[in-house]
């Protein structure tokens, strides 16, 4: 399938065997596996090492955020897992982001800007009277200055981010991917796979649309076709 390298499936399962079974079904049609808190808190580092055996790139989505020393020590324990990607919240601040040197030797650091489950109303409730675009751009500048390898945001913000980030190979990682007939669930800043790629996304994080589909392979084909159609239009 064309574009499969860009598609990272969010394996939001608790059960290790169920996760392995599901991945083995779709492994030939995706570019990587995204492992988040649900899986990690149940299966821990052992579970990640088990998934690594499948041979696909791993994005360990732990969204770390704490004081710099705590994050530094935590990431020292991640080195043994050497995931291809690791997420941290940019709102942890630039000192925290700079404390990741050891893990950076093996792993690309992705900075979470604003969760795709939030919108402008949430920002106002936080006391921030700015748009999500401005907020994400502010965080992007902090992340880039601290040397991270990519940003996690909605694809809606990617065109604006590309105007201010001029780094070759920089990664634009976008969750909140939905077709118009998909359930939105808890996401707010959603977008179709094709538009996300058209807007410049380099990695699409897609969970429930695939994992809860009656026919996950068919869904992956539809995702690929949707990207192709948008790119050609
Ligand atoms: O099921 P769905 O496609 O909404 O899953 C999106 C995945 O991306 C979830 O695993 C979620 O933790 C993750 N994610 C997100 N928003 C971010 C960062 C990660 O939804 N900003």
pLDDT digits (tens, 9 = 90+) for 196-221: 999 999 999 999 999 999 999 999 99
Q: Whose CA is nearest to atom 8 of ligand 1?
A: 175
How large is the greatest C-alpha to C-alpha distance in the chain, in angstroms?
A: 48
What is the distance in A from the centroid of ligand 1 to the CA of 210?
12
Name the β-bridge partners of 20: none
Contacts with 24 (C-beta within 8 Å, 6 or more apart), sequence order: 54
Domain ranges of the chain: 4-232
Q: Which residues line ligand 1 (CB under 6 A)?
A: 10, 12, 36, 61, 112, 115-116, 152, 175-177, 185, 187, 205-209
What is the distance in A from the centroid of ligand 1 to the CA of 110?
13
Hey, which CATH number is domain 4-232, 3.30.2350.10, 3.40.1440.60, 3.20.20.70, 3.30.2090.10? 3.20.20.70
Q: Whose CA is nearest to atom 14 of ligand 1?
A: 175
Q: Which 3-state string (H, E, C) describes 21-40? A: HHHHHHHHHCCEEEECHHHH
Write down the pLDDT at residue 197: 97
Check if 63 is active-site: yes
What average pLDDT does this structure show over 47-73? 97
**pLDDT value at 181 more than 90:** no
Please provide the average confidence, as pLDDT, over all residues in the chain.
96
Using CB atoms within 10 A of its CB, is residue 68 exposed (0-12), middle (13-18) or buried (19+)? middle
CA angle, 201 as apex, 195 and 203 as ends, to 5°? 115
Q: Tokens 């065997």 appear where?
A: 17
What is the distance in A from the centroid of ligand 1 to the CA of 126?
21
Q: Tokens 């492994």 appear where?
A: 27
What average pLDDT does this structure show over 133-143? 98
| Measured distance between the N- and C-terminal CA atoms of the chain, rounded to whole angstroms | 19
- Choose the catalytic residue: 20, 25, 52, 63: 63
Among 56, 48, 49, CA closest to 28: 56
Separation CA 176–CA 174 (nearest Å): 7
Write down the pLDDT at residue 180: 84
Write down the pLDDT at residue 152: 98
Q: Whose CA is nearest to atom 15 of ligand 1?
A: 175
Write down the pLDDT at residue 183: 85
Separation CA 175–CA 4 (nearest Å): 15
Q: Whose CA is nearest to atom 5 of ligand 1?
A: 207
Long-range (24+ apart) CB contacts under 8 A made by 99-102 are 99/68, 99/69, 99/71, 99/72, 99/75, 100/71, 100/72, 100/75, 102/72, 102/75, 102/76
This prediction has a pTM of 0.96
Q: Tokens 């291809």 appear where?
A: 84
How is residue 55 written in tokens? Answer: 């041979």
What is the distance in A from the centroid of ligand 1 to the CA of 62?
11
What average pLDDT does this structure show over 72-78? 94
What average pLDDT does this structure show over 7-16? 98
């Amino acid at each position: 399938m064309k574009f499969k390298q860009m598609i990272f499936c969010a394996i939001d399962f608790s059960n290790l065997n169920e996760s392995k079974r599901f991945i083995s079904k779709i492994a030939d049609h995706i570019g990587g596996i995204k492992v988040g808190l649900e899986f990690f808190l149940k299966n821990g580092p052992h579970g990640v090492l088990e998934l690594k055996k499948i041979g696909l790139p791993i994005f360990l989505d732990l969204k770390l955020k704490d004081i710099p020393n705590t994050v530094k020590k935590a990431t020292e324990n991640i080195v043994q897992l050497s995931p291809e990607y690791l997420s941290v919240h940019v709102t942890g601040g630039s000192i925290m982001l700079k404390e990741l040197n050891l893990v950076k030797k093996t792993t690309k650091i992705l900075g979470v800007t604003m969760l795709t489950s939030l919108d402008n109303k949430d920002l106002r409730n936080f006391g921030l009277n700015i748009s999500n675009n401005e907020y994400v751009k502010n965080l992007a500048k902090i992340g880039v200055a601290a040397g991270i390898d990519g940003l996690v945001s909605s694809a809606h913000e990617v065109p604006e981010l590309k105007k201010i980030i001029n780094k070759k190979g920089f990664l634009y990682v976008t969750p909140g991917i939905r077709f118009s007939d998909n359930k939105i669930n808890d996401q707010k800043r959603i977008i179709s796979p094709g538009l996300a790629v058209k807007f410049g996304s380099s990695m699409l994080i897609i969970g429930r649309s695939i994992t809860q589909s009656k026919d996950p392979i068919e869904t992956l084909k539809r995702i690929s076709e949707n990207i192709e159609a948008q790119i050609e239009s």
